[in-house]
Chain A
């Protein structure tokens, strides 16, 4: 039995009297894809913010590969192998698509500490960036300024940047939010391919249930900061409480059909 890559115990975040995340426990096994679902305000993003170091947990612990990362700053957590995307596109708008990835690669390889190595002469980094863009099928956009590419392509670029640090654990925050149905299908297929490559471990929050059921090995359902249910996609689909709390609309549809 392999040991979990991420062990979260009793993770809690309170803002004043309001509990945004309440006593969440979660074990993530290597190369697993876990989806975290729940309505807006369920605490998914707050949960991510704690795991990635953007917010300090009020209680609980986060263990990555036997190392306690609770409360470490974002750059240290990133160094230890957790990489994340954001709900709102988080790229370098005035740089080219290629440079966006090169920044992250320079950071990862430690080139950014060198004051006198000309960035445009670093062919190894350039090729690695090209390769990552190819994996996300946006290599054709390499020389475009990042702010002018389409919304969906920006999201893919951000995933390329997230993968550039060779993370042990990848947190994607609503990767298909705001995408057209076509972009959503394309992105889901890409993530599926990355997940099945046996290289990455994914945590994904998502509103689109089709995407979730397509990608996830296991699903954690959150509601008002608490764990409502955790299980396989099949179990989640058939769980009565989950259906009323979150899949309510589909439930009603089915009732009217019968």
Chain B
């Protein structure tokens, strides 16, 4: 019964998302494209944050590097988009393996600081390696020719790109969801609650944390690959630590304890940013107030708070 209600709600949301280009203006097609991409970025982050209990301040490294990988492949090789995305995922996975290998041995604040430091290093490289990365201007001037699998794809119609993003984010989310519900995912939750007990159950906690970190980095790379054509640029600010803060904020806003929480957070974050910046310049101030209220009064995030309220009402 409960599962059916959830499934029905989910199908309704998916149908609404598919229909966005026919019921909303181009402006909102752009907004929803951003929500989906940032949502995938945040969900990938929440795999290590909400599930495994590792607060990374350098997750944008994988997002940004993913965007550069796709931009570089489009500029120099003009491969189909699907191939670009796979390159983005591969490059981010390798980077996550290296950064993760050096970081997951540390706990809590030391882990956060080390990931922040690595993020800043990657940023500095992107910012200064002009010949490859375009320096502070980033990489622009690339176009999409085809998606791959014999499907044409251009950026001239934002609705088409929106649907491509929706399909890829949908598939990626499904994969991440299955991982979260697997025995592996159960162990990740166990590690957040009590890593010592997991070790005494015979598992190498460091290895599990590293694998989670690589999976998260890989899907952040995919989100980065999707954002480059959307913004039509891969720029150093995508790697900057302030971009690393966004999935943290989105996850807390939506609810770290729920798989879809970060998507809700992404939607609220992007929509509020759009609406508030249209009439005041102090978006950060408003965001700060909202976050403070969330952390003090609604620890479970918007989704968790809503579900609790819904359960109460049904009683």
Interface residues in chain A, defined as those with a beta carbon under 8 Å from any beta carbon in chain B: 52, 73-75, 78-79, 83-84, 90-95, 99, 102-104, 106-108, 111-120, 122, 125, 161, 164-165
Contact = CB atoms under 8 A, between A and B. Distances in A.
Given A112-B187, A165-B202, 6 more contacts: A92-B193, A95-B189, A115-B178, A115-B215, A117-B183, A119-B186
Nearest to A158: B197
9 contacts: A75-B201, A75-B205, A94-B189, A106-B186, A107-B198, A119-B186, A120-B181, A122-B183, A165-B202
Contacts of B204: 73, 75
A116 B182 contact: yes
B194 A78 contact: no
B201 A115 contact: no
A73 B206 CA distance: 12
A74 to B, nearest CB: 5
B179 A112 contact: no
Given A90-B194, A103-B187, A115 B202 contact: no
B212 to A, nearest CB: 10
A113 B183 CA distance: 8
B73 interface: no
B184 interface: yes
B181 A119 contact: yes
Given A78-B202, A103-B198, A107-B187, A114 B193 contact: no
Given A106-B187, A112-B186, A119-B182, A165 B193 contact: no
A74 B204 CA distance: 9
Contact of A102 (B186, B199, B200, B208): B186
Contacts of A114: 182-184
Contacts of A79: 202
B255 to A, nearest CB: 14
Nearest to B185: A119
A84 B190 CA distance: 17
Contacts of B205: 75
Contacts of A95: 189-190, 193
Contacts of A74: 196, 199-200
B187 A94 contact: no
Interface of B: 178-179, 181-187, 189-190, 193-194, 196-205, 208, 215
Contacts of B200: 52, 74-75, 78, 83-84, 90
A106 to B, nearest CB: 4
Contacts of B215: 115
Given A106-B187, A115-B184, A161 B193 contact: no
Contacts of A118: 178, 181-182
Contacts of A99: 186
A104 B196 CA distance: 12
A89 to B, nearest CB: 10
A44 B116 CA distance: 41
The 7 closest A-B pairs by CB, nearest first: A78-B202, A111-B183, A106-B183, A107-B201, A112-B187, A104-B201, A103-B190
A114 B185 CA distance: 9
Nearest to A122: B183
B183 A119 contact: yes
A75 B199 contact: yes
Contacts of B194: 90-93
A114 B186 CA distance: 11
Contacts of B202: 75, 78-79, 107-108, 165
B171 to A, nearest CB: 14
Contacts of A103: 186-187, 190, 198, 201
A120 to B, nearest CB: 7
Contacts of B185: 119
A78 B201 contact: yes
A114 B187 CA distance: 11
Contact of A115 (B179, B197, B198, B203): B179
Contact of A107 (B181, B193, B196, B203): B203
A226 B311 CA distance: 58
A69 to B, nearest CB: 13
Nearest to A104: B201
Contacts of A112: 183-184, 186-187, 203, 208
Contacts of B183: 106, 111-112, 114, 117, 119, 122, 125
A52 B201 CA distance: 11
A117 B182 contact: yes
Contact of B193 (A52, A78, A83, A93): A93
A33 to B, nearest CB: 21
A223 B294 CA distance: 53
A92 B197 contact: yes
A165 B182 contact: no
